[in-house]
Amino acid sequence: MIAIALLLPFLLGLSVVAALLGRRAGFFSFIEKLALAFVVGWGAHALVMFFLSLAGAPLTFFNIFLAEALLIAGGLPILFRNAGQWRPGKLPSFTFLALLPAALIAVKLASVVWAAFSRPVIDPDILGCYALGAKMIFLNKTILLNGPWADKPLMPFLWQAWPSIGLDFWNDTLLTLPNPLLFLSFLIIFYSALARHFKRWYALLSTLLLATMPLLVFHAGTAYTDWPQALYYSAGTFYLFLFMKEFRGDREAAAGSLLAGAALLGLTVWAKKSGLYYAAIDLAALLIFLSFAGAEIKKTDWRLFFQSAVIFLAIAAPWLLFNQLSTFRGYYVEVASQNYIDLETAGPRPQTLPALSALYRNTFLEDNWHLLGLLFAAALVLYPKKALAGPRLYLLLIIALQLTALFVLFRFTNLYRFVHDETLLNRLTLHFAPVILFFCAQILGENFSKSCKTNG
């Protein structure tokens, strides 16, 4: 039953990705398509559960299975029509030296498996919110109740309820059922996004750095929502960047990347409230890119942009509408209004130095990211021209906006209170830390790939 619980969203994902990419699937490597299908599939699975429940159908295994089987059956003809694009290519030949990073990645994956399944959840926030909400969905077979999710997006709750719905008994060692495979899928997407333009050994080495990022590994083994948020947002941003990179070259490949990015960024909104403003940051970068590419945009491109916008909105809008746009109100309350006024009388007034100090601690002192902060600084200082050139500039813009948002949130809003207990800043950083590594890998890769060509 656990295998079916894992397989069903994956098959759904295959259908969705096949429909999404069509013939453009050929621009994605075989393992990348599988990884993308798993990641998108779990998102789509949550949406199916959401709509079923909204339609008044009890969230039973039979109902969910039936609904998804129909969707899969609808998507399979598209998959078969483009079967040629889905054939596995030749297995890449790696040198013996490449086995070492692969083995280390396997060790990290094993540690995620162990953390995810060895014991029932114990983290107080998960017990008090996510696990309790999932248990409520499992026992009541609906989301239409007064659950602990309040205005939080429902995807994590639905994910965590699903394994128990499949087993028909409450099992809190399986809340994180998809996490290890999502972690592997994320690594594959990261690797593939780099391997499109750089040497395989280089992509693998960069992937190893990602796989060893301690807070990412830690969260991939827990039932917190920061992991799906980091996964969907970062993967969406990678594809958005690939679109920008390929836009002036291979338009069809670029189109595939944009569609994949739109779907992933849409799912970001379902992972955590912050997903909405992350998507807005990426959208802003995309609009700036397009405004500079104005003359190069062809008539056929507009259709693609429209398709991507529809995909993004079709995924994100149901949650935002269901939630009656309370996400926006939540931002306003948290950031601008009442709480801030309360804070002036009741708590410590936000100050610049402690906020900067927290950012510094988070980046350089503790071990959440190993040495990512210094790698980022080095990439900027050593190769400033490459950092500011081409589509990398837009990636840098995204990172700069993320960092600015962090500073503004912790310096000027009620979130300042978390500066002192370190419970939030690092988790918010986690959501885009893989993007920073991807940016560094892009800059350094430009140099290393050049040298490789010279060396033959």
Partner 1 sequence: MRQFCVIISALLLAGVSLAGEINLLDPAWGWRSPNPGVKIEFSAAGLTVSGTLTSTGIVNRRPLNFSTRDFDLLAIKMKTSKEGMGELSWASDKTPFSFRNSYPFYLRRPGAYHTYYVNLAAYDRDRSKITLLLLFPFSGPGAAEIAELKLVKGSLYEKIFAGWQEFFGPNGREQDFFNFLVVRSPRLFGRTLNYYVNFFLALFLAVVVILRKRWDLSRVFLLTLLAAWAAVELNYLGENLAAVRRQARFLGKSLEEKRALVNPGDFYAFLKFADSQLPAGAAFDIRAAGLYNGRNANYYLYPKRFKAGAPYLLIYDVKPDQKTRRGYRPWQIFRPGAYILKS
Q: Cβ of residue 98: shortest distance to partner 1, in angstroms?
A: 15
Structure tokens given for 138 = 């499992």
Residues from 421 through 440 that contact partner 1 (CB under 8 A): 421-423, 426-427
Separation of first and last alpha carbons in the chain: 51
Handedness of CA 151, 155, 156, 160 (dihedral sign): positive
Distance CA 274, CA 376 (A): 24
Q: Which residue has the tokens 């070492």?
A: 100
Q: Which of 151, 157, 160, 198 is nearest to 178 (CA)?
A: 160
Distance CA 385, CA 342 (A): 46
Of the residues 136, 244, 259, 269, which one makes contact with partner 1 according to CB under 8 A? 136
Residue 373 touches partner 1, criterion: CB under 8 A: yes
Write the interaction track for partner 1 spanning residues 336-355; mark x where CB under 8 A is met and - where it is not: --------------------
Residues from 212 through 241 that contact partner 1 (CB under 8 A): 212, 214-215, 217-218
Count of residues making up the chain: 456
Q: In terms of CB distance, is 212 or 307 closer to partner 1? A: 212
Residue 252 touches partner 1, criterion: CB under 8 A: no
Q: How far is CA 376 from CA 122, 332, 426, 439, in A?
A: 35, 32, 17, 8
Residue 291 touches partner 1, criterion: CB under 8 A: no
Residues from 98 through 127 that contact partner 1 (CB under 8 A): 107, 111, 114-115, 118-120, 122-124, 127
Q: Cβ of residue 366: shortest distance to partner 1, in angstroms?
A: 5
The 3-class secondary structure across 207-268, one letter per residue, is HHHHHCCHHHHHHHCCCCCHHHHHHHHHHHHHHHHHHHHHHCCCHHHHHHHHHHHHHHHHHH
Residue 449 touches partner 1, criterion: CB under 8 A: no
Distance CA 50, CA 322 (A): 10
Residue 145 touches partner 1, criterion: CB under 8 A: no
Say if residues 447 and 202 touch (Cβ distance below 8 Å).
Answer: no
Q: Cβ of residue 360: shortest distance to partner 1, in angstroms?
A: 10
Say if residues 47 and 107 touch (Cβ distance below 8 Å).
Answer: no
Residue 142 touches partner 1, criterion: CB under 8 A: no
Q: Cβ of residue 127: shortest distance to partner 1, in angstroms?
A: 5
Residue 380 touches partner 1, criterion: CB under 8 A: no
Write the interaction track for partner 1 spanning residues 393-412; mark x where CB under 8 A is met and - where it is not: --------------------
Residue 135 touches partner 1, criterion: CB under 8 A: yes
Rule CB under 8 A: which residues touch partner 1? 107, 111, 114-115, 118-120, 122-124, 127-128, 131-132, 135-136, 139, 171-173, 209, 212, 214-215, 217-218, 364-368, 370-371, 373-375, 377-378, 381-383, 420-423, 426-427, 444
